Amino acid sequence: MVVGHQNVEGFNIGGVKEMARYTGPVCRLCRREGQKLYLKGDKCYTDKCPVAKRNYAPGQHGQSRKKLTEYGLQLREKQKSS
């Protein structure tokens, strides 16, 4: 056992953070961006795509989404590329 390093979830014994895959609902990401990101494969090409069905952002306040500022648009573009 190494003294001073805890074995916490998300960290290995050496203290270096491990990268993890996002396993959550990926269609929510498409809806947040307002366009298809083609993360679900073939489902994005059909009429069952949630972006086509629900053309608003996810969440409680998604239907009353306000206009984004210039800075907000820059952040959205940055998130899309990640």
CATH number of the domain bearing residue 67: 1.10.1050.10
Please check whether residue 2 lies inside any domain of the structure.
Answer: no
Please check whether residue 16 lies inside any domain of the structure.
Answer: no
Please check whether residue 67 lies inside any domain of the structure.
Answer: yes
Please check whether residue 54 lies inside any domain of the structure.
Answer: yes
CA geometry: angle 20, 39, 61, nearest 5 deg? 90
> Domains in the chain: how many in total?
1
How much is the pTM?
0.60
Please check whether residue 53 lies inside any domain of the structure.
Answer: yes
Half-sphere exposure at residue 62, Cβ-oriented, CA atoms within 13 angstroms: 15
Q: What is the domain range of residue 60?
A: 26-76
Q: pLDDT tens across 16-75, in order?
A: 667 788 788 888 888 888 888 888 888 888 888 888 888 888 888 888 877 889 999 899
Please check whether residue 48 lies inside any domain of the structure.
Answer: yes
